[in-house]
Amino acid sequence: RRGRPARPKEPGFSAAAGPPANLQPAPPPPGAAPLCRPRNLAVNSAQPSAVAMGTVAIYSLFIINKSGGLIYYKDYGSAGRMDTNDSLRLASLWHSMHAISQQLSPTTGCTGIDLLQAHNFDLHCFQSLTGTKFFVVCETGAQNMEILLKTIYELYTEFVLKNPFYEMEMPIRCELFDLNLAQVIQKDRVALLGR
């Protein structure tokens, strides 16, 4: 399957115990050409303390299409590196397990796993009515992840589905979606770490 170009990590998202040594440089000046994707978003004044605290709101985001194929993956600070093939396999595995969990339900009306709690992380999943699944890996006990997932779903409908050049069930390569998603995640992070 096609490899993806490596994307630099978002600024300030260090791993839980890592030293703040990988701060991204300042964003490009406002007069930069509009075609270049601003990968380094605005660094706000709360940034240094957030980095010093070393906490991360979410670790990664996956979006899976209705057949189980991965269409979007973004890593925000996992300690280990995961290559494309691994993320594809994990997404398909999650899709299957989501389906199997419905079969094992002791009562009717099960719609699959919403929350998986592990020792080191939590995984929140949201499935839309069309079968597209959005799941985030976050730290244990993170609050308001359902709201975040719904917001990401709204961004998906706005910037991906309404994009006339986007083919259904294909990997998402929409700039506006990336931009807005990064803003939402950044805001979520600031809200979490600003306390």
Q: Which is nearer to another protein, 6 or 104 (CB)?
A: 104
Residue 56 burial (CB count, 10 A): 23
Q: Provide the minimum distance between the beta carbon of 65 and another protein in the complex, in angstroms, as a whole number.
A: 19
Q: Within 13 Å of residue 163, how many CA atoms lie on the same side as its CB?
A: 16
Burial 1-25 (b: 16+ CB within 10 A, else e): eeeeeeeebbbbbbeeeeeeeeebe
Q: Which is nearer to another protein, 97 or 168 (CB)?
A: 97
CB of 105 to another protein, least distance (A): 5
- State the nearest-atom distance from the C-beta of 77 to another protein, in Å: 7
* CB of residue 11 to another protein, shortest distance in Å: 18
Residues within the interface to another protein (CB under 8 A): 15-16, 59-60, 77-80, 82, 86, 89-90, 93-94, 96-97, 100-121, 123, 137
Q: Report the DSSP beta bridge partners of residue 122.
A: 117, 138
Nearer to another protein, 60 or 180 (CB): 60
The amino acid present at 173, given as its one-letter code, is R
Indicate the residue among 100 and 147 with the shorter CB distance to another protein: 100
Degrees, nearest 5: CA angle 27-28-32: 150
Residues in CB range of 104: below 8 A, 6 or more apart: none
Q: How far is the CB of 171 from another protein (least distance, A)?
A: 19
Q: Which is nearer to another protein, 96 or 183 (CB)?
A: 96
Q: How far apart are CA 191 and CA 195, in angstroms?
A: 7
